[in-house]
Amino acid sequence: MKRTPLLFLNVIIIATCGLIYELLAGTLSSYVLGDSVTQFSLIIGIYLFAMGVGSWASRYIDRNIAEKFVDIELAVAVIGGFSAPLLFLTFANLSYFGIVLYSMVFIIGTLVGLEIPLLMRILKDELDFKDLVSKVLALDYIGALAASLLFPIFLVPKLGLNRTSLLFGMLNAAVGIWGTWLLEPLIKRNINILRVKGFVILALLFIAFIKADSLTTLAEDNLFTDNIIYAKSSPYQRIVVTKGKTGHALFLNGNLQFNSFDEYRYHEALVHPAFAAFGENPKRILVLGGGDGLALREILKYKSVENVTLVDLDPGMTELSKALPALAELNRNAYDDPRVSVTNADAFFWLDNNTLEPFDIAIVDFPDPNNFALGKLYTTRFYKLLKSKLKPDSAIVIQCTSPLIARKSYWSIIKTLEAVGFIVKPYQTTVPSFGVWGYALAKLQPFETPSKPPANIDLKFLNDNSFASMFDFPSDTTLPLEEIEINRLDNQALVRYYEMEWRRFE
């Protein structure tokens, strides 16, 4: 067998693989850490330096060069091949990401730096020096070109980062395994052990390549403590449902929305005070937000309710709550109830552009005001729009974040409601998953604070003894002494309070 041309083919493959790992690391780090100029510059610098270290270190390998070469190939196959998946797993924990990233780049660089000098020494007996240098280096650079062309045009768009990484790991492993045959005369011992190692590595990489799809979920798994049973990005948000020892939990953009273990506390406290304040026979109910259907479950407990209009931005969310068995079970198939009608729209725009018969009760259950798009749903303008859809005796309730953690935010919402003419009864309760949680019960005319939940409703949390205590505020959650701003569209004071108050806990 003529060995030399085949070894030259190895040079091309090695060079391609080497550059691919470098590009992968650069891309991933700019995904995760941002600032692609700095990231690419650092990665290239460290990688080239490490190659230099490898080349220099090659002088210390004196014996069994062929065997060492195969070993190095297999090491590159493992570390390089698994580099992208490993980095994906690490970015759940950002504080280590940099360390893992740069160490990995350094190790791969060093190993790749060893490859070419060793290969040249293997080939030196078959060619004269002039020929050797010119051919090996030329092929090395051709490999680099191939990698840099393949990477953006084919590999990233078609295979993705994980599969690219694993594929080139397999190529490296193949070069190693093939090397045991090509270099058989030069390998003095352990040739079978080398081959077994090679095939095991190749098999592992292959399995990972087939299973690559689940790797992204695996990475996300580490962001959440429980198993992910559903994860999808809608045009509006990232929806993740997890299942753990305590039950199911829903996350929107990484923020916990409920945990089935104690969500009934939150939803009973959200819905029933408004029904108690409204009085007899509420018929038309409006729910804004609340796509999980859990507020619906509570509302549908009332026989007098004739129709419930639910307006939630994200069809991805309302459909999931209907279709995912874990959620449908939790909301007791609320979406299948003929009394419920769903509209997917931004509630702000929807209220502004629809003339509707007024509602008896409105339940406002939006995510916390952590951005301007959500902040507008807590403004005087929004509450004025809502007001125009109510009767003089209607009751409304609004979830208002935590008065303990975000005290100013909470009272800013109360003040905002008062500014448009609502009589507000603030109340709070404890939901272990969230902490101390605040709500606002309001009507357009003076009303008695309800003292107990409506009769004959099946409740797990609220009872006659504890109901009234929700309207008492411990001293650390009462209205602060300083001036609290009203949240308006043109100042979005709430988003700024909220950012300031919650940032302390990040």
| Contact flags string 283-322 toward other proteins, x per CB under 8 A | ------------------------------x---------
- Strand duo 227-233 + 238-244: pairing: antiparallel
Give which of 85, 237, 253 is closest to 160, Cα–Cα.
85
Q: How far apart are CA 80 and CA 73, in angstroms?
A: 10
Closer Cβ to other proteins, 301 or 389, answer by number: 389
Closer Cβ to other proteins, 133 or 153, answer by number: 153
Query: Is 205 within 8 Å of 73 (Cβ atoms)?
Result: no
Number of amino acids touching other proteins (CB under 8 A): 22
Closer Cβ to other proteins, 68 or 488, answer by number: 488
| Contact flags string 319-348 toward other proteins, x per CB under 8 A | ---------------------------x-x
Smallest distance, Å, CB 343 to other proteins?
15
Closer Cβ to other proteins, 153 or 193, answer by number: 153
Smallest distance, Å, CB 488 to other proteins?
6
> Is residue 242 near other proteins by the rule CB under 8 A?
no
- Order across the sheet with 284-289: list the strands: 340-344, 307-312, 284-289, 359-365, 390-399, 435-443, 423-431
| Contact flags string 12-51 toward other proteins, x per CB under 8 A | ----------------------xx----------------
- Order across the sheet with 247-252: list the strands: 227-233, 238-244, 247-252, 255-259
Smallest distance, Å, CB 309 to other proteins?
19
Smallest distance, Å, CB 231 to other proteins?
18
Q: What is the CA radius of gyration of the chain?
A: 32
Segment interacting with other proteins, rule: CB under 8 A, options 129-137, 172-180, 286-294, 377-385:
377-385
Closer Cβ to other proteins, 272 or 381, answer by number: 381
- Strand duo 390-399 + 359-365: pairing: parallel
Closer Cβ to other proteins, 133 or 489, answer by number: 489
Burial status of residue 234 (CB atoms within 10 A of its CB: 0-12, 13-18, 19 or more): middle
Write the CA distances from 464 to 273, 278, 291, 430, 450, integer angstroms.
Answer: 12, 17, 29, 17, 10
User: Could you say which of 379, 402, 416, 429 contacts other proteins (CB under 8 A)?
Assistant: 379
DSSP category for residue 194: H
Write the CA distances from 92 to 24, 218, 222, 225, integer angstroms.
Answer: 18, 10, 6, 11
Catalytic residue among 71, 262, 365, 368: 365
Torsions phi, psi of 451, nearest 5?
-105, -15
The count of other CB atoms within 10 Å of the CB of residue 486 is 17
Residue by residue, DSSP assigns 293-313 as SHHHHHHTT-TT--EEEEEES
Closer Cβ to other proteins, 48 or 489, answer by number: 489
Residues 464-503 that bind other proteins (CB under 8 A): 488-492
| Contact flags string 198-237 toward other proteins, x per CB under 8 A | -------------------------------------xx-
| Contact flags string 428-457 toward other proteins, x per CB under 8 A | ------------------------------
| Contact flags string 352-371 toward other proteins, x per CB under 8 A | x------------------x
Cα angle value 48/54/57 (rounded, 5°): 145
Residue by residue, DSSP assigns 405-470 as TSHHHHHHHHHHHHHTT-EEEEEEEEETTTEEEEEEEEESS--PPP-SPPTT---SS--TTTGGGG
Smallest distance, Å, CB 45 to other proteins?
20
Torsions phi, psi of 364, nearest 5?
-110, 110
Closer Cβ to other proteins, 95 or 475, answer by number: 95
User: Could you say which of 133, 373, 468, 500 contacts other proteins (CB under 8 A)?
Assistant: 373
Catalytic residue at 365? yes
Smallest distance, Å, CB 148 to other proteins?
15
> Is residue 153 near other proteins by the rule CB under 8 A?
no
Smallest distance, Å, CB 491 to other proteins?
6
Instruction: Output b/e per residue, 6-25; b: 16+ Cβ within 10 A.
Output: ebeebbbbbbbbbbbbbbbb
Segment interacting with other proteins, rule: CB under 8 A, options 15-23, 138-146, 327-335, 372-380:
372-380
Smallest distance, Å, CB 292 to other proteins?
19
The count of other CB atoms within 10 Å of the CB of residue 191 is 16
Q: How far apart are CA 261 and CA 491, in angstroms?
A: 38
Closer Cβ to other proteins, 106 or 236, answer by number: 236
> Is residue 380 near other proteins by the rule CB under 8 A?
yes
The count of other CB atoms within 10 Å of the CB of residue 456 is 8
Residue 147 C-beta-side C-alpha neighbours within 13 Å: 25
Q: How far apart are CA 500 and CA 401, in angstroms?
A: 14
Question: Rule CB under 8 A: which residues touch other proteins?
Answer: 34-35, 235-236, 313, 346, 348-349, 352, 371-373, 376, 379-381, 384, 488-492
Q: Which residues participate in catalysis according to the annotation?
A: 365
